[in-house]
Amino acid sequence: MLTRIDHIGIACFDLDKTVDFYRATYGFEVFHSEVNEEQGVREAMLKINETSDGGASYLQLLEPTREDSAVGKWLAKNGEGVHHIAFGTEDVDGDASDIREKGVRVLYDEPRTGSMGSRITFLHPKDCHGVLTELVTSRADH
């Protein structure tokens, strides 16, 4: 069962400059940052609030580390902006299976490692009314 909006992913050309904008404009601070080599991105998670299920909601700022990454290709085509929306779930495997049975393409056969050690998968945007959708099971200590 999907429990919350986990994060909204925003693709950007310059992560540091974009972080500075969100800090100066809205007062958001970086909760976590990392480089995800598998996904080819450098990212910063800005915590917006805590949620009733013990999780949190974030803005995820994504800068590609290579042009051939999914985010790099997306930026080249679309420019900066909202890249995806992610919903939190306690069981990414089960929810992905249930959603797949409803005819929605799940992009990974097995969930992969995402931000802060989470388990993630994506749903095809053509099956989700043009929105790239991520399912996230957070690591227990986040």
The full DSSP string for 57-78 is EEEEEEEESSTTSHHHHHHHHH
Is 34 among the residues known to form the active site? no
Is 90 among the residues known to form the active site? no
> Which helix (H) or strand (E) is 98 found in, with range?
helix 92-101
Q: What is the pLDDT of residues 61-75, one digit of tens each?
A: 999 999 999 999 999
Q: What is the pLDDT of residues 104-125, one digit of tens each?
A: 999 999 999 999 999 999 999 9
From CA 91, how far away is CA 31, in angstroms rounded? 24
Residues contacting residue 23 through CB under 8 Å, at least 6 positions apart: 29
Is 142 among the residues known to form the active site? no
pLDDT value at residue 141: 53
Is 38 among the residues known to form the active site? no
Please identify which of the residues 38, 39, 43, 63 carries the catalytic annotation: 43
Neighbours of 91 (CB within 10 A): 13
Whether the full predicted model's pTM is greater than 0.95, yes or no, is no
